[in-house]
């Protein structure tokens, strides 16, 4: 049979496709947030959707995260399916009470009688030149909280499949996108572009097979891991690169199986080191069956433990680079 058609799709277009398809599929789905309607979205993720679906389905809100997140959570409790966009996840701090106390805990506190099928989405982590209040990763913050699901896509396929799965899920989902990936094109298979394509929440993906060391990452740093793996391959070191895709529930089984094979572990993330995603992975490996297969201590590559500086040269040094991953792998392998 001929190979399936593959085309290049940006993360922005993949997200737009997912929103369009889910708005069309289920009339309970609606999008709300700052600039999402008439302006076509601050990052043009919702381009064309207001024109197509109108004021009831794509709603511009005032600059009041606590207010519109609260409206969205209330709507979800009466079985609508809101997609609540934060212009960046830094601004979700204004609404963290709604996300955690209202959305995440209600199903449990109502003994399962009230579901909250809501998606909180928007850019997360470092952008470029926007300083400390716009540059932090919230994967560890939201991954910490029971009652939430947390997804963190890398490729266009991740973005589309995870957003569709999140909208269809009956639980509150936090979807952490990367602004720096929005314009990046990825190969997308014909299957991934079908209307029924979803990626199961809670399942990691092995992006590259390898035998010497396991690299585990999420969001934009997955790309850095792939680049580092290509560099190291020239030196005879074969990295297995795991794209977590989901932060909570975490697919630790895929990581364990890889560590059993490679005997070495390096975690890579843009967030801060203390209580981070990498810290959690290391602890889970330590506590589980794969610990006995480690030939060396696990190594974490993280963002610098500082509020993000504004100056470009300092910002570059605060975000994990390919050279940092290569260094960490050599440290883990003692070469």
CATH of residue 96 = 3.40.50.970
Q: Are residues 188 and 266 in the same domain?
A: no
Q: Are residues 85 and 180 in the same domain?
A: yes
Q: What was the pLDDT predicted at 5?
A: 75
Q: Are residues 119 and 188 in the same domain?
A: yes
Q: Are residues 256 and 305 in the same domain?
A: yes
Chosen domain end from 133, 161, 193? 193
Q: Are residues 40 and 76 in the same domain?
A: yes
Q: Are residues 189 and 215 in the same domain?
A: no
Domain count along the chain? 2
pTM of model > 0.85: yes
Q: Are residues 242 and 318 in the same domain?
A: yes
Q: Are residues 178 and 212 in the same domain?
A: no
Tell me the per-residue pLDDT of 275-287, one tens digit each, with 9 for 90 and over.
999 999 999 999 9
Q: Are residues 100 and 217 in the same domain?
A: no
- Active-site residues: which are they? 65, 134
Q: What was the pLDDT predicted at 2?
A: 55
Chosen domain end from 169, 193, 217? 193
Q: What was the pLDDT predicted at 4?
A: 66
Q: Are residues 170 and 236 in the same domain?
A: no
| Strand 149-151 relative to strand 299-301, pairing | unpaired
Q: Are residues 291 and 152 in the same domain?
A: no
Q: What was the pLDDT predicted at 67?
A: 98
List of the chain residues with pLDDT < 50: none
Chosen domain end from 141, 161, 193? 193
Q: Are residues 13 and 149 in the same domain?
A: yes
Q: Which structural domain, as residue segments, surrounds residue 101?
A: 8-193
What CATH number has the domain bearing residue 226? 3.40.50.920
């Amino acid at each position: 049979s001929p190979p399936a058609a593959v085309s290049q799709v940006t993360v922005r277009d993949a997200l737009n496709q997912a929103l369009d398809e889910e708005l069309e599929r289920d009339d309970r789905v609606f999008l709300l947030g700052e600039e999402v309607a008439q302006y076509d979205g601050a990052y043009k993720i919702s381009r064309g959707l207001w024109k197509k679906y109108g004021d009831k389905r794509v709603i511009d809100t005032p600059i009041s995260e606590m207010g519109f997140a609260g409206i969205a959570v209330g709507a979800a409790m009466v079985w609508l399916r809101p997609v609540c966009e934060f212009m960046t996840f830094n601004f979700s701090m204004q609404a963290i009470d709604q996300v955690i106390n209202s959305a995440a805990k209600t199903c449990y506190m109502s003994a399962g009688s009230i579901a909250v099928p809501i998606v909180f989405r928007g850019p997360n982590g470092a952008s470029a030149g926007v300083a400390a209040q716009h540059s932090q990763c919230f994967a560890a913050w939201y991954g910490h909280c029971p009652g939430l699901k947390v997804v963190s896509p890398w490729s266009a396929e991740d973005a589309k499949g995870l957003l569709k799965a999140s909208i269809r899920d009956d639980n509150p989902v936090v979807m952490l996108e990367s602004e720096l990936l929005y314009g990046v094109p990825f190969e997308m298979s014909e299957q991934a572009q079908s209307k029924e394509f979803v990626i199961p929440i809670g399942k990691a993906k092995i992006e590259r097979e390898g035998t010497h060391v396991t690299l585990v990452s999420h969001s934009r740093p997955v790309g850095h891991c792939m680049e580092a793996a290509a560099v190291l391959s020239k030196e005879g070191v074969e990295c297995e690169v795991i794209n977590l895709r989901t932060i909570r529930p975490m697919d630790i089984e895929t990581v364990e199986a890889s560590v059993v094979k490679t005997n070495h572990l390096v975690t890579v993330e843009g967030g801060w080191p203390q209580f981070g995603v990498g810290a959690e992975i290391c602890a889970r490996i330590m506590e589980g069956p794969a610990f006995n297969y480690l030939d060396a201590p696990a190594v974490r590559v993280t963002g610098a433990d500082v509020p993000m500086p504004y100056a470009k040269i300092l910002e570059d040094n605060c975000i994990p680079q390919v050279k940092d991953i290569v260094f960490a792998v050599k440290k883990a392998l003692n070469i």
